[in-house]
């Protein structure tokens, strides 16, 4: 760009230029990324697209019975039908919306609970920190799946309880990470200065700490999402998560498992869908961690 083009005489270019260059930068980074990270981005985009536009992509309704039971792959039903005569492909696509949506919501909730308490624990490193940390210690001493099973026995299995139970259990991990990374910031001089200025707690969180812990938290979000996603899939597979007739990948595997013994691979398609998304997110996180290399290799 020549100097005279950048003069204030042309304000629109001035305003647009930095935005475009950031987009360009991101695009360039992505182009430079290893093939695995590109795969991850592609997978996430496809899943997002399917989850948002599900009804437009599917020929039938989510729970609509459209044909004979356990029909084979063919022209009318591309992936055949399930035990009740519902179209497999339709349910597979709806599963993207339900399963991924529930897992995403749960992760967001877990980050709200765990992230906020973690931040507060780091800032008010007093009795609040002590109590919260001890509670988290105890909760983390029980295997998550077992604890979830027990809580679901007590509170019953519905989607809202599922989301709340798993989010609460997962918030313990988020709390640990947020607290640990924020503690590194809290001891720095500029944070001390902000505190002495008498800034409000929310200002401290949002303007002083959060910008400095975004990278590890983003990576953690990816890993947590995978974990929550697999956990909900496992629970649904056990028949204790998302309940029928909602199309969900975990319960779809369970419902159609009999077909496996006849050598049919249809029942494991939803499981493959789960694996591909987690793999994509893992690849992306792996690359992201490598780039922001503030964290150690591995976990």
Partner 1 sequence: MVLQRFGLGLLTLFVVSMIIFVGVEFLPGDIAEALLGQGASPESVAALRHKLGLDVPAHTRYIDWWLNVLQGDFGTSLANGRDIAELIKVRLANTLFLALVAASVSVPLAIIFGILAALYRNSLYDRSVNVLTLGAVSAPEFLVAYILILYFSVTLGWFPSLSNVDANTTFFERLHRVALPAVTLTGVILAYMMRMVRASIINLLASAYIEMAHLKGMSKLRVIVKHALPNAWAPISNIIAISLAYLVVGVVVVEVVFIYPGLGQLMVDSVSNRDIPVVQACSMIFAGTYILLNLTADIVSICTNPRLLHPK
Q: How far apart are the first and last CA of the chain?
A: 43
Binding residue for partner 1, selected from 1, 56, 154, 196, defined by CB under 8 A: 154
For position 274 contacting partner 1 by CB under 8 A, the verdict is: yes
Nearer to partner 1, 175 or 227 (CB): 227
Q: How far is CA 185 from CA 174, 181, 211, 238, 244, in A?
A: 17, 7, 10, 42, 47
DSSP reduced 3-state for 87: strand
Rounded (10°) angle between helices 159-186 and 101-123: 40
Crossing angle of helices 159-186/144-155, nearest 10°? Answer: 140
User: In angstroms, what is the minimal distance from the CB of 26 to partner 1?
Assistant: 23
Q: Which residue number, 206 or 257, has a Cβ lying nearer to partner 1? A: 257
Stretch in the footprint of partner 1 (CB under 8 A) among 69-77, 100-108, 165-173, 268-276? 268-276
Residue 81 φ then ψ, to 5°:
-125, 165
Query: If binding is defined by CB under 8 A, does position 44 make contact with partner 1?
Result: no
Map the footprint of partner 1 across residues 181-210, applying CB under 8 A: none
159 binds partner 1 (CB under 8 A): no
Rule CB under 8 A: which of 218-237 touch partner 1?
226, 230, 233-234, 237
How many Å apart are CA 179 and CA 196, to the nearest integer? 21
Question: Binder to partner 1 among 178, 255, 267, 288 (CB under 8 A)?
Answer: 267
CB 181 within 8 A of CB 213: yes
Report the nearest approach of partner 1 to the CB of residue 215 (Å): 19
User: Which backbone phi and psi does 70 adopt, to 5 degrees?
Assistant: 45, 50
Residue placing its CB nearer to partner 1 in the complex, 120 or 229: 229
Contact between residue 110 and residue 178 where contact means Cβ atoms under 8 Å apart = no
Helices 144-155 and 210-237: crossing angle in degrees, nearest 10, is: 70
Report if residue 114 touches partner 1, rule: CB under 8 A. no
Determine, following the binding rule CB under 8 A, whether residue 115 of this chain makes contact with partner 1.
no
Among 257, 258, 292, 293, binds partner 1 (CB under 8 A): 257
Distance CA 95, CA 78 (A): 16
What are the residues binding partner 1 (CB under 8 A)?
Answer: 36, 137-138, 141-147, 149-154, 226, 230, 233-234, 237-240, 250, 253, 257, 260-263, 265, 267-268, 271-272, 274-275, 278-279, 282-283, 286, 296-299
């Amino acid at each position: 760009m020549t100097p005279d083009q950048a003069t204030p005489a042309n304000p629109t270019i001035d305003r647009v230029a930095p935005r475009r260059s950031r987009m360009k930068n991101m695009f360039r980074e992505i182009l430079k990324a290893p093939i695995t990270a590109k795969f991850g981005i592609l997978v996430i985009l496809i899943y997002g697209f399917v989850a948002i536009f599900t009804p437009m992509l599917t020929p039938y309704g989510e729970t609509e019975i459209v044909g004979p039971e356990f029909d084979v792959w063919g022209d009318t039903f591309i992936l055949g039908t399930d035990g009740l005569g519902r179209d497999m492909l339709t349910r597979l696509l709806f599963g993207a919306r339900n399963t991924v949506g529930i897992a995403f919501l749960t992760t967001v909730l877990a980050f709200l609970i765990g992230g906020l308490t973690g931040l507060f624990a780091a800032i008010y490193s007093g009795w609040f920190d002590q109590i919260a940390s001890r509670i988290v210690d105890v909760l983390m001493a029980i295997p998550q799946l077992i604890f979830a099973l027990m809580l679901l026995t007590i509170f019953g299995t519905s989607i809202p309880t599922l989301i709340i139970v798993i989010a609460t259990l997962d918030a313990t991990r988020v709390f640990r990470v947020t607290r640990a990374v924020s503690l590194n910031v809290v001891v720095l001089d500029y944070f001390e200065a902000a505190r002495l200025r008498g800034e409000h707690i929310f200002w401290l969180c949002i303007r002083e700490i959060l910008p400095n812990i975004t990278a590890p938290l983003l990576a953690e979000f990816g890993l947590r999402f995978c974990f929550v996603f697999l956990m909900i899939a496992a629970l649904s597979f056990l028949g204790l998560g998302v309940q029928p007739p909602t199309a969900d990948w975990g319960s779809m595997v369970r419902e159609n498992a009999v077909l496996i013994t006849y050598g049919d691979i249809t029942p494991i398609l939803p499981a493959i869908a789960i694996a591909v998304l987690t793999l994509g997110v893992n690849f992306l996180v792996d690359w992201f961690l490598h780039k922001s290399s503030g964290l150690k290799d591995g976990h």
